[in-house]
Structure 1
Amino acid sequence: MGDLSDLRREYTHGGLTEADLPESPWPLFEKWMEQACEAKLEDPTAMVVATVDETGQPYQRIVLLKRFDEKGFVFYTNLGSRKAKHLETNPKISLLFPWHTLDRQVAVVGRVEQLTNTEVLKYFVTRPWESQIAAWVSKQSSRISARQVLESKFMEIKSKFSKGEVPLPSFWGGYRIVPESIEYWQGGEHRLHDRFLYTREQPFSGDWQVERLAP
């Protein structure tokens, strides 16, 4: 096996101080997201989503953030997917935004709320036509024999809806992650990183408290 112990770099993009912190975590997240987009990072909205199955086994995957506000973070998915099945029995979830190029991470811990059909449809109609078709094609997380199965199904559904708008699949929906805590991590020289943790005075409600964490 390869030895990776000498593979390292310094984090030199600057620090994060108490003076930089607003009372609520949302203005800082909006600022960091804007800066990630301005830096032209590939997939700045990509986040690692972690869920846990009924045996306690955690799973992670990359999902794209589609919206955020003071209510929470929103993403969409197939409601028959593995992560959706996990969330049916355990609504606890965590997110990680890995903005390595900027020496930044944002970690979120919370629980999910399923979006209403109205909320889901409002987003679905904004998706490119081919993406709307793709939502009908895949029974996400199920086993398939070959890629050709997907391609054949895509052509079948594409032909079916070629003369009209694509309806919202009943098995396609979305979630809002309501955060209990949001941690901001800014890399620092000599591994003296800056970490600040926002938590609510009451779980999932109330004002935010913030404290510095050791790196």
Structure 2
Amino acid sequence: MADEIAGIRHPYLSKSDIFDIKDLHSKNPFQQFNKWFEDASQSSNILEPNAMALATASNSGVPSVRMLLLKGFSEENGFVFYTNYESRKSKDLQANPQCSLMFYWEPLRRSVRIEGKAAKMSREASEKYFSSRPRDSQISAIVSKQGQVVNNREFLDKKHSSTVEQYGDKMPIEMPDYWGGFHIQPSVFEFWQGQSNRLHDRIMFRKLGSGEKKSGSAMVGENGWIIERLSP
């Protein structure tokens, strides 16, 4: 199988529409993301449109990436997810808040890559979300010491059973101190539309760095975003 990997190719059955700057739904990247997210949510072939990869790096630059679920987004708060604050991703983000997200909606031949800076959400906001979770998910947050080594599955099952017994059916479950949310405020969005001939369409929104000037071909979007087309 290893010798066959280089030859794996799956041409798209139908040609994607060309995606250019003039075809943007909005000159605001959050609104453009919302349009594509709605398209993905309405696709019967995409089970979890909010699934995303989160890439982090430790303070010494060691990278790590994992899949998780988006739990909200807005221009004010950025992109939101919740986790165990003692996990590797949380420790990475607290030491080095620069990170990247990737959404990939294969049936639509689209992806969105986001770069930004993460910060912890307020405890109040985290508690509000925690209280809305299904009860079994709340219990799992207490049971799981995310990323820590355990001897076997039986250990987790026993701990889960004892926690269920401890709280019963009605006892309120408080959010653990080691659990909560992060929000990522983007500085870069890249919208990718795949093409069968591999001349893929890539449109980038980015905030200009200090002292940086926009290129001659760049368009100025809303709220200071610069819009550029990238080579595949």
- Is the shorter-chain TM-score for this pair beyond 0.5, marking a shared fold? yes
User: Of the candidates 26, 30, 44, which is equivalent to residue 49 of structure 2?
Assistant: 44
Task: Say if 2:172 is the partner of 1:155.
Answer: no
User: Of the candidates 7, 21, 25, which is equivalent to residue 29 of structure 2?
Assistant: 25
Cα deviation, residue 28, structure 1: 1.1
Deviations 1:106-163 (A, max 9, x none): 0000110100011101111111110000000011110000011111111111111113
User: Of the candidates 83, 105, 123, which is equivalent to residue 99 of structure 1?
Assistant: 105
3-state DSSP of counterpart to 1:101: helix
3-state DSSP of counterpart to 1:60: strand
Cα deviation, residue 81, structure 1: 0.3
Structure 2 match to 1:210? 227
Task: Name the count of aligned residue pairs.
Answer: 213
Task: Say if 2:197 is the partner of 1:190.
Answer: yes
Residues 1-215 of structure 1 aligned to structure 2 (within 5 Å)? 1-11=2-12, 12-21=15-24, 22-40=26-44, 41-71=46-76, 72-162=78-168, 163-201=170-208, 207-215=224-232
The answer as to whether partners of 1:199 and 1:209 remain within 8 angstroms in 2 is: yes
The answer as to whether partners of 2:54 and 2:101 remain within 8 angstroms in 1 is: yes
Query: What amino acid is the match of 2:183?
Result: R
Moved more, 45-54 or 10-19: 10-19
Greater Rg by CA: 2
Q: Is the alpha carbon distance of 1:214 and 1:16 closer, same or farther for their aligned partners in structure 2, counting shifts above 3 Å?
A: same
Q: What is the identity percentage for the equivalent residue pairs of Structure 1 and Structure 2?
A: 38
The answer as to whether partners of 1:14 and 1:187 remain within 8 angstroms in 2 is: no
Cα deviation, residue 170, structure 1: 0.7
Cα deviation, residue 32, structure 1: 0.7
C-alpha distance in structure 1 between counterparts of 2:225 and 2:93, whole Å: 26
C-alpha distance in structure 2 between counterparts of 1:51 and 1:173, whole Å: 17
Gaps of 5+ in 1: none
User: Over the residues paired in the alignment, what is the CA RMSD in angstroms?
Assistant: 1.3
C-alpha distance in structure 2 between counterparts of 1:15 and 1:26, whole Å: 21
The answer as to whether partners of 1:26 and 1:70 remain within 8 angstroms in 2 is: yes
C-alpha distance in structure 2 between counterparts of 1:91 and 1:121, whole Å: 22
C-alpha distance in structure 1 between counterparts of 2:70 and 2:86, whole Å: 19
